Amino acid sequence: MKVAVIGGGPGGYVAALKAAMLGADVTLVEKRRVGGTCLNVGCIPTKSLLASSDVLEAVREAKDYGINIQGDIEADFSLIMKRKDKIVDQLVKGIEFLFDKKGVKLVNGFGSLLNNNKIEVSKEDGSKEIIEADKIILATGSVPIVPPIFPYDGVKIITSDEALFLKEVPKSMIIVGGGVIGCEFGQFFSKIGTKVTIVEMAEQLLPLEDKDVAKQLERSFKKDKIKMMTGQKINKCELNNDKVIAYLEGDKTLEADIMLVSVGRKPYLDNLGLDQVAVNLEKGKVVVNQKMETNIEGIYAIGDIVDTPFLAHVASKEGIVAAENALGKDKKVSYRAVPRCIYTAPEVAAVGITEKEAEAKGMVYHVGKFDFRGLGKAQAIGHFQGFIKVLADNDDKIIGASIVGPHATDLLAELSLAVELGLTAEQVGDVIHPHPTLSEGIMEALHDVHKACIHSV
């Protein structure tokens, strides 16, 4: 069985490896480097930058822990960027190593469908290669959205792609959009000395999360001296004397050295040849079923080009399922418990439905909540801002959870498992949790669902 994958991001490369492990003859087509947006210009490099700013913050706060550090403390931006590049390069080489060991053939170039069994690859040197396959998996990912009111030039008005390759720290920055990308970049640049203003149309940062979650992050951003303008809309933007000028509603104006537009992403389907094969599209996305099959037999689609959450871990799961089904299995993707993670300080993580979604649906639910401040481990490490919140339905099943605080993204796994398996607050709350740990807060929040939390009033 020959399988071809177009796109080497976290969906495509995982699909290729899985198909190879199942015995297929696999070819992956990627126009740049394997790893896609996530590894090259997304998840991994941004976490590397945030790790550097976290260390900077820890050094600045060392005196609070009884550690005296002499001399000036400053960030070396060029070394931060070099460290980021080194980490990305190592991980890219790691994927290529796996390809070599598991027998995945990598073809560099732009892949386009000729029919449901042939792909034409256009290479940088102008040559073309035809790849034939029994099954094809489309995984071309997404690109940043830049509304036409922003005169995007990739230099003064940029997206997250360019932000990861800046040569120097901008003195000031306007960030358009207070979602995940805007918040992560905003905090990083603020901590290394940039004057940051975030403009968000919604009434809060992280518009998809609950208000109490956003308030915790906004409190931290205020401490970081990040200016937040929520419920605000930019009507016009222009470049003037090497400055970016933004005109907001109510005759307000903002000026900065650089503007980062982070208002979302869109599927990348340009010149993929979908019309050549008559693959169904709806609202600019490829239509698939739970098995990741398109309407064309033998063609699958995964990741950001389909109507599922734009998340690397979702794409990877879809890639595994697509590969398994391409090799004759009968698998489906469950989206019941999709984790949502924001790597700010404090971290934000959530799974399942939010309180506002439950209210909008008229659901009967119960809330359990516990503050990190009440945990001995949180006090010991000096990071105790935030809380753990659990939602249970009328049958006590855990249907959602939000964590804002230290290591929130790591702590979420237990609650994601609970949501996926339909476990109850009583079942998970009865499990002995280790002490002293931050995970105890989950147990306490689960107890609070039944108003039986011992360490709260």
CATH number of residue 407's parent domain: 3.30.390.30
Same domain for 370 and 299, yes or no, is no
Same domain for 90 and 12, yes or no, is yes
Q: What is the count of structural domains for the chain?
A: 3
Same domain for 13 and 84, yes or no, is yes
Question: Per DSSP, what are the bridge partners of residue 163?
Answer: none
Q: How confident is the model at residue 340 (pLDDT cuts 50, 70, 90)?
A: very high
178 is in an annotated binding site: yes
- pLDDT > 90? residue 315: yes
Q: What is the CATH number of the domain that holds 275?
A: 3.50.50.60
CA angle, 163 then 111 then 302, to 5°:
70
Quick one: DSSP state of residue 433? P
Residue 214 resides in a domain: yes
25 is in an annotated binding site: no
Same domain for 318 and 273, yes or no, is yes
96 is in an annotated binding site: no
User: Domain boundary at 238, 263, 288, which?
Assistant: 263
Distance CA(263)–CA(147), nearest Å, equals: 9
Max intra-chain CA distance, the chain = 71
109 is in an annotated binding site: no
Q: What are phi and psi of 321, to 5 degrees?
A: -65, -45
Query: How much is the mean pLDDT over the chain?
Result: 95
Per-residue pLDDT, 346: 96
- pLDDT > 90? residue 390: yes
453 is in an annotated binding site: no
- Active-site residues, by number, are 435
Per-residue pLDDT, 457: 82
Q: How confident is the model at residue 126 (pLDDT cuts 50, 70, 90)?
A: confident
Q: How confident is the model at residue 124 (pLDDT cuts 50, 70, 90)?
A: confident
Q: pTM for the whole thing?
A: 0.93
Same domain for 179 and 117, yes or no, is no
Pairing of strands 243-248, 340-342: unpaired
User: Domain boundary at 209, 232, 263, which?
Assistant: 263
Residue 313 resides in a domain: yes
pLDDT digits (tens, 9 = 90+) for 48-89: 999 999 999 999 999 999 999 988 889 999 999 999 999 999
The residue type of 210 is: D
282 is in an annotated binding site: no
Residue 150 resides in a domain: no
Residue 454 resides in a domain: no
Per-residue pLDDT, 241: 84
Same domain for 97 and 138, yes or no, is yes
Distance CA(434)–CA(423), nearest Å, equals: 20
Same domain for 272 and 125, yes or no, is yes
Same domain for 96 and 243, yes or no, is no
Per-residue pLDDT, 249: 86
Domain that holds residue 232: 157-263
168 is in an annotated binding site: no
- pLDDT > 90? residue 36: no
**Neighbour-count burial of 433, counting CB atoms closer than 10 A to its CB (0-12 exposed, 13-18 middle, 19+ buried):** middle
Residue 455 resides in a domain: no
Same domain for 312 and 354, yes or no, is no
Residue 151 resides in a domain: no
Same domain for 6 and 129, yes or no, is yes
User: Domain boundary at 304, 326, 348, which?
Assistant: 326
Same domain for 283 and 254, yes or no, is no
Same domain for 40 and 131, yes or no, is yes
- pLDDT > 90? residue 39: no
